[in-house]
Amino acid sequence: MYNLAQIFIFPSLYEGFGLPPLEAMACGCPAIVSEAASLPEVCGEAALYFPPHNAARLIENIRKILNNDFLRQEQIQKGFQKVKEYTWKTAAHQHIKLIEDILKRNPD
């Protein structure tokens, strides 16, 4: 489904993590998400944002993506880069590094 979409819109007000925008990005679908909860932290520069309940800003971002192929392609590439931060391999490396850092500070 994401592969066929031109835009993924995620107007969530309350989100624990925000996996759906990352799923869309992994499929090459540019994301427009609300500036709520963890979404800005999770999506970073790989998404366009709008304030919750601000339909005018949402519409503006939709038009930007649909009318500017350069921006659309740029957001798609940023999305591909962003999802690389959330692979199991990346998570495992981050945990190993964290454990190594803790052991260096507290060798006993």
By DSSP bridging, strand 47-50 and strand 8-10 are unpaired
User: How far is Cα 26 from Cα 66, in angstroms, rounded to an integer?
Assistant: 19
Please, what are the domains in the chain? 2-105 (3.40.50.2000)
Provide the percentage of residues in the chain whose pLDDT is more than 70. 99
Helix, strand, coil percent values for the chain (each to nearest 5): 65, 10, 25
Q: Is 53 left (phi over 0), alpha (psi -120 to 50) or beta?
A: left
Is the full-model pTM beyond 0.75?
yes
Q: What is the pLDDT of residue 77?
A: 99
User: How far is Cα 51 from Cα 100, in angstroms, rounded to an integer?
Assistant: 40
Indicate the pLDDT class of residue 106, thresholds 50, 70 and 90. confident
Lowest mean pLDDT among 22-26, 34-38, 64-68, 103-107: 103-107
Residue 32, phi then psi, degrees to nearest 5: -120, 120
Q: Give, in degrees to the nearest 5, the angle at Cα 104 between 102 and 108.
A: 85
